[in-house]
Amino acid sequence: MIFSKILITISRIILPFLLMFGIYIILNGDISVGGGFQGGVIIATSYLLYYFIKGQHPFSLSKMLKIDKYLFIFLPVMVLISYFTRGYFFTNWFDLTYAYEIRRLFLVLLNLVIGLKVAIGFVSLFVVFIEEGNS
């Protein structure tokens, strides 16, 4: 197959900026517009742009699936810790007496987990769709 050189060059320049933009939207999810789902979709777009144009994976797919499995165990641990500090499930770990900057840690971590899970889900769905029918 012939891959056009203009598209390959431009996509190699754009890939790190798209990735950084997606992580920026995830990390500022609780101050401004954004959040986990939106940033995850942007990260998946950056991966698929490179894969669709060049034909090779930019990061390896099996390592991403391993990260997904570890995140699945990490999520209930984070959610259930709050029973020991406050007495309620499914809420923030820290009490109302702490400052805003310390209590933000919980929201940022949860946004990161959700964003990465969404990105990996979308990427695996598309890789199957593109490769179906090729021997």
Contact residues: another protein, CB under 8 A: 25, 29-35, 37-38, 41-42, 45, 48, 52, 61-62, 65, 68-69, 72, 75-76, 79, 90-92, 96, 100, 103-104, 107, 110-111, 113-114, 117-118, 120-122, 124-131, 133, 135
Q: Closest separation between CB of residue 126 and another protein, Å?
A: 7
**Tally of CA atoms within 13 A in the half-sphere of 28 that contains its CB:** 8
Q: Compute, in degrees rounded to 10, the torsion defined by CA atoms 81, 83, 89, 93.
A: -60
CB contact at 8 A, 129 and 52: no
| Joined tokens for residue 111 | 């946004």
Nearest approach, Cβ of residue 12 and another protein (Å): 18
Give me the least distance between CB of 35 and another protein, in Å please.
6
CB nearer to another protein: pick between 13 and 134: 134
* Separation of alpha carbons 80 and 7, rounded Å: 47
Cβ 89 to another protein shortest distance, Å = 9
Structure tokens at 51: 């894969």
